Chain A
Amino acid sequence: MPLDFAVVQGPLEVLGTDHAWAFPWLSVSILFPIVAALLIPFIPDPGNGKTIRWYALGVALVTFLVTVGAYLNGYDPSVAGLQLIERVEWLPDLGLAWSVGADGLSMPLILLTSFITALAVLAAWPVTFKPRLFFFLILAMDGGQIAVFAVQDMLLFFLAWELELLPVYLLLAIWGAKKRQYAATKFILYTAGGSVFILLAALAMGFFGGGTPNFEFTVLAAKEFPARFQLIAYAGLLIAFGVKLPIVPLHTWLPDAHGEATAPVHMLLAGILLKMGGYALLRFNVQLLPEAHAQFAPLLVVLGVVNIIYAALTSFAQRNLKRKIAYSSISHMGFVLIGIGSFSALGTSGAMLQMVSHGLIGASLFFLVGATYDRTHTLQLDEMGGVGQKMRKMFALWTICSLASLALPGMSGFVSELMVFVGFVNSEAYSLSFRIVMAALAAVGVILTPIYLLSMLREIFFGKENPELASHNELVDAEPREIYVISCLLVPIIGIGLYPRLVTDSYRASIEALVLREDAAMARVLGPAPSGLIRGSQTQPVSWMPSALLQAPSVG
């Protein structure tokens, strides 16, 4: 294995020996919400769900605090390798173990999950239909999703991945809008279809090389898979995770699922579920199959650009508010793909930040969609108009979140997109012409995003009040709970926007180690002087890397 792997494992042992018994932060944050959810049937409730709501909020908050505690007490951002490791043998014959841990790839997303879930519970305050089941599912999902990011065993990962499907399915099918059955079925078919590939890949990788099967990430990473094996496994996993992210053309479940979900579920779908795809791509495709990644990466970049432009155009034409925002999510995830494919620390770091940032911004927009629907009782843009006159605070919140979504500087979306751009343009992995074309096309998104977001605002809030809408509905302005939810989301959005290192420093070491691994794999696969339209010829190395760049750029 490349040398860097030893570095990755170094601190691991130190942690293991020094702390004989540490508080199992991660296991608690996974199991606590699930166990607490199981207790919901025994909670006395007068029937309107009031006690349940407060109970769920309390549980979600405690979970959030536990993950924060994990970050503060057991996590050292300067370490590249796995930390907070907890390992208990489960089925030794199968090599299955309860193995959880966190590194830079998972820690930010674990925090994001518990944070967004707590806000989603607060967003679910108006849910009065079957509140017990609803909050049970939300809390179960909380634990399940933290598990997806924290587990360090591929089979366990597969279980967690599948486990999280069920609550989403039920949340869609029971609390959704008119076409909820269709949407829920489509969602589960799509995702389950994709998961087959995960299972196959996991089994193949676990059994590879003979001996006792072992699915632990560290073990898998140490295996030297042959090139063809890597390519096949990579392709399968790409389909599975591409459904989740989603990658065009595997995206059509998303507008339906998002279009039918209620606001809190919506926040979870956009805020966390999509990130599972991006995380898994980094964790498996990049970390475990780096050589295949070196060959597939240009495809990722192209798909990312397609995502950005295609989804932005569809979003522009959409007349349904929820679907519009759903497509905008797809568009934003394109930057994650480009970042993952960029072969640069800055770009990959940007992809990671884009996931966090979109988790926050997407959740806030979807929350606002729900809050607006509660008042207008329609999602059709044609039936709105001039709403801003009665709902001025709502208008302000919408404007701020839309501006965040169109990557206004000072907010997190701008930083992550900028990092992806700068990282990709300066990547040595591609030829100059490929970089120019892709960057220029991706930058078209810079024009398209404001077009659809601002015309959306224009149609909802600006202009004369729609008399029909005003006569049928009482347009009350935002209530304190809603302002509070959005403010909670805006604090990190603006915080990251002003000083991105608040977040990027927490995973910097891991990303840099990952990119080193990528580069080593790239060198093995392509050799020292690749040629071709995409990879570019290195015959004139000077022309691709101006000498000025070889010195670390110091003064900005």
Chain B
Amino acid sequence: MTSASDLAWLIPVLPMLGAALVGLGLISFNRTVNRLRKPVAIFLISCVGAAAVLSYAALIEQLAAPPPTEVLFNWASAGSFNLQMGFRVDALGAVMLALVTTIALLVMVYSDGYMAHDKSYVRFFTYLALFSSSMLGLVISPNLLEIYVFWELVGMCSYLLVGFWYDRDGAANAAQKAFVVNRVGDFGLLLGILGLFWATGSFGFEEIGLRLGEALNNGSVSHPAAVILCLLVFMGPMAKSAQFPLHVWLPDAMEGPTPISALIHAATMVAAGVFLVARLQPIYIQFDEVQAFIAVIGTVTCFLGASIALTQMDLKKGLAYSTVSQLGYMVLAMGCGAPVAGMFHLVTHAFFKAMLFLCSGSVIHAMEEVVGHEPVLAQDMRLMGGLRRFMPVTAITFLIGCVAISGIPPLAGFWSKDEILGQAFNAFPLLWAVGFLTAGMTAFYMFRLYFLTFEGPFRGSDVALQARLLAAAGKGAAEPEGHGEHASQPHESGWQMAAPLAILAVPSVLIGLLGTPWHSRFAGLLDPHEAAEMAEQFSWAGFLPLAGASVAISISGITVAVLAYALHKLDLATAVASRFPSINAFLANKWYLDAINERIFVQGSRKLARQVLEVDAKVVDGVVNLTGLLTLGSGEGLKYFETGRAQFYALIVFGGVIALVVLFSSF
């Protein structure tokens, strides 16, 4: 009997076929296919659904801890080289498969509601299926080469989806920025992969690790060279998982539709970097410098994301920086040599952050009824407030997400984040301190988001404030839109949107219990050896102080948020912001990284390109034209070479050639 693992290749292929079919239909019979909204949606959802069923079957098989399934074929070959492709299913892959298909499925159901009024509904579903397929392909890739292939494909899907509303300038710029910044990371990844292949003759994860160790021992590859290769490869995850300083694309990518932010830019694609680092652990584990570098980058990112999130007024941007920060935690875990902890946080975060984003989508959807389809208004928390009364399901699930991410037991975030902090405490105490501080900031900004959005009075109908916000965004006065009257108050979203929120709330609350330090089923699945060790070393005396401290700092963060935004006892604007204006400006301007980026890289590359073009046109081509001018001696140059003469000249050249041949043949 064939096992689910043997059929795993079908998991990415099914959604790919679905997407290809609908895509072809869209190009060939645009009108017809665009009208078949529900059938297309149901078809693509069932493709992803079938993939989900297979994924869960594969996951269940992995519970019995079988050896990894790996199937390879020669994809390209020349000389003695064979570039191979195939698929591989092991515990790590199976967990990701189940995670990706689950969230993709829920997001697709949600999108049916969210995108209901969009004229490109079918195109959106096609892209979603295409993305799911690419992401699933990445997860089951057996080697670095294939990872690179799907790595690029998910990047492309992200480009297409961020730029989905291509008539918006913001979306267009963000899509391009996302792709280019990711390519910067891919530059390193590609060189790193090539280098590792040179050094070890292999693209496989364990094999590279093994052979690199051998090569180091017999001196054929020097230690610094190996470290550089590892760091080059790490550039890929840095870009994809939005690590400092390549995180700049992720907040901008929020221009895409919100379901995309939930699926791609919170739960799955951005986690691909972390996943790759986990896959590469057999290699990285050999180099302390690399591990320390990864840990430091993770910590910096984690702190940076949380600090910027403190001042964001845009609901989605706030969540985006929170994602950056949480990805930093995962990378920190990888750097501490605790891939299981990092992966566990990846899984828990995927659930609660997807839920939070979908909640924000629900809020934006509701706000659009009041303020119109203008992202500057619909996403600004200054116009929200009091939404809990209008949309209770969204508010409650958002609150669950806030508690989960803040690390309050027994919700999911507590177990995974605490695990990472515990590992960091043992490996890099200084980094632990930063991560610990960040946990407090996380709790504060998440509850700030909650209170600003869902509590207090509703401020959405304040026309003067709307005008002020538009002016600040440089958009001018609100254009009268053709939608007629705006509603005076928002409404709860339909079942397609509310149901995924409710479903996601369940794992957000409970999934952490799978990873309790004294009996971690999650670790038992990924690395039974480590799980046993963890359980053995576990002691309440070691666990309670650290966990207690984490909970304490989270609660203090929440308390500040409650005092400031719910009870209004504490005016942070006067207490902090006006007292330290430079810090406030520093945070509000996102550490000035976008400005530096724009000044140096964007303007710099434009200037360089213009100069090269100038040289090309004036110097290189100038020499050519000058030569032409001199040899022809016409005094007018090539540019004025008129009709008849040029053809005449061509005939002479051609005739001359024929004459030469005839001449030679008469020898």
A residues lining the B interface (CB < 8 Å): 91, 93-94, 96, 155, 159, 162, 165-166, 169-170, 173, 181-182, 184-186, 188-190, 192, 195, 199, 203, 248-249, 251-253, 310, 313-314, 316-318, 344-346, 348-350, 386, 388-389, 392-393, 395-397, 399, 403, 408-410, 414-415, 418-419, 421-423, 425-426, 435-436, 439-440, 443-444, 446-447, 450-451, 454-455, 458, 461-465, 477, 483, 499-501, 504, 508, 511-512, 515, 542-543, 546-549, 551-556
Q: Please give, as numbers and ranges, the residues of chain A lying within 8 Å of B207 by CB-CB distance.
A: 555
Given contacts A181-B646, A313-B609, A547-B218, contact A443 B187 (CB under 8 A): yes
Known contacts A440-B191, A556-B142; is A451 also within 8 Å of B186 by CB? Answer: no
Known: A186-B624, A552-B80, A556-B82. A181 touches B187 (CB 8 A): no
Alpha-carbon gap, A133 to B612, bound state (A): 39
* Chain A residues near B203 (CB-CB < 8 A): 556
Within 192-251 of B, Cβ neighbours of A (below 8 Å) are at: 194-195, 197-204, 207, 211, 214-215, 218-221
Q: Tell me how far the C-beta of B170 lies from the nearest C-beta in chain A, rounded to whole angstroms.
A: 10
* Interface pair A317/B613, CB less than 8 Å apart: yes
**Do the beta carbons of A546 and B215 come within 8 Å of each other?**
yes
Q: Which of B132-188 contact A (CB under 8 A)?
A: 142-143, 145-146, 148-150, 152-153, 156, 159-160, 163, 166-169, 171-173, 175-176, 179-180, 183-184, 186-187
B574 within 8 A of A: no
B152–A414 touching, CB < 8 Å = yes
Binds A, one of B91-99, B272-280, B397-405, B647-655: B647-655
Per the bound structure, the CA–CA distance linking A451 and B180 in Å amounts to 6
30 A-B Cβ contacts within 8 A? A94-B664, A159-B657, A166-B650, A169-B650, A173-B643, A181-B641, A181-B643, A192-B653, A252-B624, A316-B605, A345-B80, A346-B78, A393-B30, A397-B27, A436-B195, A439-B194, A443-B187, A446-B183, A446-B187, A450-B179, A450-B183, A461-B166, A483-B28, A511-B78, A543-B221, A546-B201, A546-B211, A549-B198, A556-B82, A556-B83
Known: A317-B606, A440-B191, A454-B176. A410 touches B201 (CB 8 A): no
Indicate whether A512 sits within 8 Å of B612 (C-beta atoms), given known contacts A249-B620, A555-B84. Answer: no
Task: Tell me the minimal C-beta distance from B156 to chain A in angstroms.
Answer: 6
Q: Collect the chain A residues with CB atoms within 8 Å of residue B201's CB.
A: 546, 548-549, 551, 553
The residues of B that contact A162 with a CB separation of less than 8 Å are: 654, 657
B653 near A188 with CB under 8 A, answer yes
Q: Are A548 and B211 in contact (CB-based, < 8 A)?
A: yes
CB atoms of B202 and A556 under 8 A apart: yes
Contact of A409 among B149, B202, B642 (CB under 8 A): B149
A residues near B163, Cβ cutoff 8 Å: 462
Which of A91, A396, A419 is close to B27, meaning CB atoms less than 8 Å apart?
A: A396
Q: What distance in Å separates the Cβ of B48 from its nearest Cβ neighbour in chain A? A: 19
What A residues does B219 contact at CB under 8 A? Answer: 542-543
Contact (Cβ within 8 A) B204 A556: yes
Ranked nearest first, the 6 interchain pairs of A and B with the lowest CB-CB distance are: A556-B84, A345-B79, A462-B172, A317-B613, A409-B149, A317-B609
CA distance A546 to B199 in the complex (A): 6
A345→B81 contact, CB < 8 A? yes
| A444 to B211 Cα, complex, angstroms | 28
Q: What's the minimum C-beta distance from A237 to chain B, rounded to whole angstroms?
A: 17
Inter-chain CA distance A416–B603, complex, in Å, is: 32
State whether the Cβ of B472 lies closer than 8 Å to any Cβ in chain A. no
Whether, in the assembled complex, B2 has its beta carbon less than 8 Å from a beta carbon of chain A, the answer is no
Contact residues of B between 621 and 658, Cβ < 8 Å to A = 621, 624, 628, 638-639, 641-643, 646-647, 649-650, 653-654, 657
Residues of A within 8 A of B649 (CB): 185, 188
**Interfacial chain A residues near B665, Cβ < 8 Å:** 91, 93-94, 96
Docked-complex contact A462 and B76, CB < 8 angstroms: no
User: Are B202 and A345 closer than 8 Å at their CB atoms?
Assistant: no
Q: Do A155 and B75 have beta carbons less than 8 Å apart?
A: no
Q: How many residues of chain B get a CB closer than 8 Å to chain A's CBs?
A: 95
Contact status of A501 and B621, CB under 8 A, knowing A425-B195, A463-B167, A546-B201: no
Indicate whether B571 reaches chain A with its CB closer than 8 angstroms. no
Question: For the complex, what is the distance from the CA of A451 to the CA of B609, rounded to whole Å?
Answer: 11
State the main secondary structure of chain B at its contact with A: helix
Measured between beta carbons, the chain B residues less than 8 angstroms from A515 are 79
Asked if A548 contacts B643 (CB within 8 A), the reply is no
Nearest Cβ on chain B to A302's Cβ, whole angstroms: 17
Asked whether any CB of chain A lies closer than 8 Å to the CB of B86, the reply is yes
- Beyond contacts A403-B156, A546-B201: 16 other A-B pairs, Cβ-Cβ < 8 A, are A173-B647, A184-B646, A188-B653, A251-B620, A317-B612, A388-B166, A444-B187, A458-B176, A463-B169, A464-B169, A500-B76, A501-B77, A546-B215, A549-B201, A555-B72, A556-B204
CB distance from A410 to the nearest CB of B (A): 6
Does B190 interact with chain A (Cβ within 8 Å)?
yes
Once the chains bind, are A314 and B661 in contact (CB under 8 Å)? Answer: no
Q: Pick the residue among B76, B650, B661 that contacts A504 (CB under 8 A).
A: B76
Asked if B468 is an interface residue, CB under 8 A from chain A, the answer is no
**B residues less than 8 Å from A483 (CB atoms):** 27-28
Q: Inside 8 A of B195's CB, which chain A residues have their CB?
A: 425, 436
Query: Which residue in A313, A345, A439, A499 is a CB contact (below 8 Å) of B612?
Result: A313
Q: Which residues of B contact A409 (CB under 8 A)?
A: 148-150, 152-153
- At the interface, yes or no: B74 with Cβ under 8 Å from chain A? yes
Cα distance, A345 to B78, chains bound together (Å): 6
A551 and B72 alpha carbons, distance in the complex (Å):
18
- Is the Cβ of A553 less than 8 Å from the Cβ of B81? yes
B202: contacting residue among A199, A422, A553, CB under 8 A: A553
Residue of A nearest to B616 (CB): A314
User: How far is it, in angstroms, between the C-alpha of A508 and the C-alpha of B145 when the chains are bound?
Assistant: 21
- What's the minimum C-beta distance from B222 to chain A, rounded to whole angstroms? 8
Q: How far is the CB of A266 from chain B (nearest CB, A)?
A: 20
- Chain A residues with CB under 8 A of B647: 170, 173
**Which B-chain residue is minimally distant from A478 (CB atoms)?**
B27
> CB distance B646 to A447 under 8 Å?
no
Q: How far is the CA of A403 from the CA of B620 in the complex (A)?
A: 30
Is B85 engaged at the interface, CB distance under 8 Å to the other chain?
yes
Inter-chain contacts of A185 with B (CB < 8 A): 638, 641, 646, 649-650
